Amino acid sequence: MTTNSDLDQIVEQYLSRLKVALADLPAERRQQLIDSITDHISEARVALSANSEVAIRDILDRVGQPADIAAEALTVQAPPPLSRASSTRRATIAVIAIVVVALLVFGGLLVSRSNNGIRSTTTSTVTSVSMVVVPDVVRLTLGAAQAELQAVDLLIGQVFISACAGSPGPPGVVTSQAPVGGSSSAKGSQIRLTVTSSKSCP
């Protein structure tokens, strides 16, 4: 037959184990915790219809292992607690703000960079697509020169006709061009040519 004092003793033993497990806590917190759990066990016992050993052990089982409670008590000291949640939240907002600012700054840089990229792409596009190498048309007839230039989308600009035909060679032959052959020029731009005259030099 288990007497009430036997049951008290089971509870006392449990509380002693709990005290040992909580040894690392500050004294005040340890006492607070032990008081709370002592009250808890008392309440649970009051609610019992029959104060049997099985019932008491069941209550203590529900309260849990002293080691678990100690682990919880030691853990909750360190992690971000609730009231600090508001300051944590403020810190979080600050961090978010910093990240947003950083993103904006970096994003701005990236955008301006990519804009630059687009610009340089455009430029290189101009270089590769819109720019052509001017063919050398010197010594060609005007007609042949025109064909050569048209082939690369260049136009004949001003045509200077020499005052008179050069010593050798037929008339209507290109003697010089600007820009010169081999240089690059934008598509559609005009090439100035000088051709020999059909007039014989005096």
Partner 1 sequence: MSQMRRGAIEYCVLALLRDRDMYGFELTRALSTAGGLVASEGTVYPLLTRIRQDGLVETFWEPSPQGPPRRYYRLTNDGRLALATFRAQWREFRDTVDAIVKGSDE
Q: Which of residues 85-114 bind partner 1 (CB under 8 A)?
A: 85-86, 89
> Which residue, 64 or 169, is less far from partner 1 as judged by CB?
64
Instruction: Please report, as a single letter, which amino acid is at residue 186.
Output: A
Minimum distance from residue 72 beta carbon to partner 1 (Å): 4
SS3 of residue 46 by DSSP: helix
Distance CA 132, CA 151 (A): 10
Distance CA 116, CA 104 (A): 17
- Chain Cα centroid distance, residue 142: 60
Cβ atoms of residues 200 and 166 within 8 Å:
no
Pick the binder of partner 1 from 52, 68, 115, 124 (CB under 8 A). Answer: 68
Length of the chain: 202
Q: How many residues bind partner 1 (CB under 8 A)?
A: 33
Which range, of 80-88, 110-118, 150-158, 180-188, touches partner 1 by CB under 8 A?
Answer: 80-88
Pick the binder of partner 1 from 9, 26, 52, 81 (CB under 8 A). Answer: 81
Distance CA 202, CA 197 (A): 12
Minimum distance from residue 65 beta carbon to partner 1 (Å): 7
Pick the binder of partner 1 from 29, 57, 113, 187 (CB under 8 A). Answer: 29
Phi-psi region of 35 (alpha: psi -120 to 50; beta: other; left: phi over 0): alpha
Which range, of 79-87, 122-130, 139-147, 176-184, touches partner 1 by CB under 8 A?
Answer: 79-87
> Which residue, 26 or 169, is less far from partner 1 as judged by CB?
26
- The token duo for 52 is 């049997």
> Which residue, 64 or 117, is less far from partner 1 as judged by CB?
64
| DSSP, res 162 | -
- The token duo for 163 is 């005052």
Judged by CB under 8 A, does residue 167 bind partner 1?
A: no
- The site for partner 1 (CB under 8 A) is made up of 18, 29, 32-33, 36-37, 39-40, 42-44, 46, 61-66, 68-69, 72-73, 75-77, 79, 81-86, 89
